[in-house]
Amino acid sequence: MTEKVNQNVPKTEEMSNQNNNIKNEIRQRNAVLIDQQTKRQIQEWLEGNPYQELLEYMRSRVMGQENIAVVVANVYNYLKNVSIPDTGMEMPTHGNCNNMILAAPSGSGKTETYRAFKDYFKKRIPALRLTISDVSNLTATGYRGAEPSSIVEPFLGCGLEPIGIVFMDEFDKICTPSYSANNGDVHLEVQHNLLTLVEGSRVETKQGYVNTNKLLFIGMGSFDQFRKKRENDSKEPIGFGAVGSDEIMEAEHAAPITREDMISAGGCYELIGRFSYIENYHPLDQETILNIIKKACEDIADQFHCDINLEEEAMAELFESANSKFGCRLIESKIREVVLKAYSEAMQKDSAWDVMDLNIDTLNSYTFGFREYTEEEMELEEAFQSGGVHKEIPVPKMSFEERMEALIRAQTQQD
């Protein structure tokens, strides 16, 4: 009886090994199919010569930043290179050749850059994965918390050599020293851990292995601390009669961030060197802020079926917010909060109105009335209800240009 049991043990182990081999073969085959599918979708996209389409879309989302063209060209070049079929004859392609750092003052469009790329490729290349991670929350490998390798975990099961873009938000925060109780620089250790990821290798995560050879890494941050350090290092006494010192300081603060600035502030030379490009956004000018306000009002008006009229004081408050440390990121939220309050009151009074006519005096004061659809709007409404069109009814939009010209002239005269 004992001999029979002993004879069955090797057979059981052999069957288990065979099952594992079959599972591994299936995983390998599926990974190859995923790689091929992603490359095929990219190649089909490239056949349409889509660079101009992508650039125009990104410019419509990330307003007023000339360097968005460079960012788009880099992403386009990355996708073109990694989509080359593997024949064994060509030189190996690596995404890390296109790694980029995007230095952008708060509210100038860096997060919108990620959102716009994600929205575009979701429709054009569905198999292409884009992720964003707050790397300021990472801890060095072996410590409690999220390890650096966690930022590539979303690419598990995305092929043998996943193709995708990893946006590392708050990248600037890990490039400044942060000392632990034993006086070790935790951020420097995190940078060393990230080095393995961004240069391309087979990375072990808590959930499995990810090959990062063909991933594109884009570090993003405001780099405000770097700018302050640079200002402090270069401060000189201003002599009697100095003119325009405030303007000079503002210009110096917005000056482009360089590799030298990053390394001087505590960035790891080896890690910063793995990023081939450093691009800078600039603070937004008044014309761009005006366009952002206009677009926000148009989008919100379409959603709530309303006319939005911003008075001079409300416009001034939005401009003041845009010029603060928050930049333009809060403009839409501030307008949306007012519209939602008015919409709530309007629905309580009468839920059968066609279009709400909203006048925003300040961000805390507004009045509203109602009007009926115009003939053109009624035709569009009927077509929409019957399924003939698939978009919201356009409502008349306010003219911002004349109002803002007067506001800018008044501010110039006051200065």
Contacts from 178-185 at CB under 8 Å and sequence distance 24+?
185/266
Q: Indicate the DSSP class of residue 93.
A: P
pLDDT above 90 as % of the chain? 54
Q: How far apart are the C-alpha atoms of 188 and 177, rounded to whole Å?
A: 7
* 281 Cβ contact partners less than 8 Å away, ≥ 6 residues apart: 65, 67, 102, 103, 104, 105, 108, 109, 110
CB 330 within 8 A of CB 320: no
Tokens of 325: 């440390």
Q: How far apart are the C-alpha atoms of 41 and 129, rounded to whole Å?
A: 12
Q: Which pLDDT does position 396 carry in this prediction? A: 43
| Least confident span in 38-47, 213-222, 225-234, 317-326 | 225-234
Residue 334 has pLDDT above 90, yes or no: yes
Residue 40 has pLDDT above 60, yes or no: yes
CB 15 within 8 A of CB 21: no
Largest CA distance in the chain: 106
Residue 51 has pLDDT above 90, yes or no: yes
CB 293 within 8 A of CB 310: yes
Q: What is the pLDDT of residues 188-199, one digit of tens each?
A: 999 999 999 999
Mean pLDDT of 394-404: 48
Q: How far apart are the C-alpha atoms of 155 and 70, rounded to whole Å?
A: 26
Q: How far apart are the C-alpha atoms of 163 and 94, rounded to whole Å?
A: 10
* 238 Cβ contact partners less than 8 Å away, ≥ 6 residues apart: 245
Q: Which pLDDT does position 323 carry in this prediction? A: 79
* 200 Cβ contact partners less than 8 Å away, ≥ 6 residues apart: 94, 95, 96, 212, 213, 214, 215
Q: What is the pLDDT of residues 77-93, one digit of tens each?
A: 999 999 987 665 555 56
Residue 294 has pLDDT above 90, yes or no: yes
| Least confident span in 233-242, 301-310, 372-381 | 233-242
Q: What is the pLDDT of residues 108-166, one digit of tens each?
A: 899 999 999 999 999 999 999 999 999 999 988 777 778 999 999 999 988 889 999 99
pLDDT above 70 as % of the chain? 77
CB 296 within 8 A of CB 363: no
Q: Which pLDDT does position 32 carry in this prediction? A: 82
Half-sphere exposure of 320 (CA within 13 A, CB side): 9
Q: Which pLDDT does position 308 carry in this prediction? A: 95
- pTM as predicted: 0.80
Q: How far apart are the C-alpha atoms of 86 and 37, rounded to whole Å?
A: 13
Q: How far apart are the C-alpha atoms of 184 and 203, rounded to whole Å?
A: 24
Higher pLDDT, 392 or 220: 220
The enclosing H or E element of 368 equals strand 365-371
Q: What is the pLDDT of residues 216-241, one digit of tens each?
A: 999 999 988 777 777 776 665 545 44
Helix/strand/coil for 215: strand
CB count within 10 Å of CB 318 equals 25
Please name which of 401, 394, 406 lies closest in space to residue 291, comparing C-alpha atoms. Answer: 401
pLDDT band, very low/low/confident/very high, at 19 (cuts 50, 70, 90): low
First to last CA, the chain: 101
Query: Letter for the amino acid at 402?
Result: E
